[in-house]
């Protein structure tokens, strides 16, 4: 995922693909985003997605 304007939907779809499941919940996606944000991982991209 090399996009700078990552959407939550894009991220959620990619997570589901990686995990091999049909759907990833909004709550789980939000938790992952917040974990990345607190660790400073790809902060600019994550902040854009959380808007």
**Beta-carbon count within 10 A of 37 CB:** 16
Distance (Å, rounded) from C-alpha 51 to C-alpha 47? 7
In this predicted structure, what is the pLDDT of residue 50? 65
Range of the domain at 32: 8-50
Is 15 among the domain residues?
yes
pLDDT tens per residue across span 4-41: 677 888 888 888 888 898 888 888 888 887 887 777 76
Is the sign of the CA dihedral 3, 18, 47, 40 positive or negative?
A: negative
In a domain, 38, yes or no: yes
- Does some domain include residue 41? yes
How does DSSP assign 1-51, residue by residue?
---SS--HHHHHHHHHHHHT-S---HHHHHHHHHHHHHHTTTHHHHHHHH-
Q: Is 1 a member of any domain?
A: no
Domain-embedded: residue 3 = no
């Amino acid at each position: 995922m090399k996009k700078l304007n990552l959407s939550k939907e894009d991220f959620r779809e990619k997570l589901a693909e990686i995990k091999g499941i049909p759907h990833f919940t909004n709550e789980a996606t939000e938790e992952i985003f917040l974990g990345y944000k607190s660790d400073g991982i790809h902060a600019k991209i994550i902040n854009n997605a959380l808007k």
